[in-house]
Amino acid sequence: MGRSSVGVDKSVELWYNKHMKYKSNTKTTRNKAIISLRVNDPSLSLVEIGEMFNISKQKVSFIIKRHYRRLNDCTREVQD
């Protein structure tokens, strides 16, 4: 007989947990590095930063904007 659906579901779940957690951590590390680059060297263009990480300038812009939006939300909560 073949595999039961429970066994397949479990193996898929194990694979997903192993690989997606790694991918999530890698993206978090990459995003922190992008923010650090932008803060430490604002003269770098979005294209240059994107080329370093092999992502588009639009994605770099999204990451940076999201970072500053979160910072503003945190400071706004403290002020209220």
Domain edges within the chain: 5-79
Q: What letter represents residue 7's amino acid?
A: G
Q: Within 10 Å of residue 63's Cβ, how many Cβ atoms?
A: 21
| pLDDT exceeds cutoff 90 at 32 | yes
Question: What's residue 73's pLDDT?
Answer: 73
Q: What single DSSP character describes residue 52?
A: H
Mean pLDDT over each residue of the chain, to the nearest integer = 80
Give the Cα separation of 38 and 47 in Å (integer). Answer: 12
Cα dist. 31→11, 28, 35, 61, 80 in Å? Answer: 30, 5, 6, 11, 29
Mean pLDDT over 51-61 rounds to: 93
DSSP SS3 for 77: helix
**Whole-structure pTM value:** 0.64
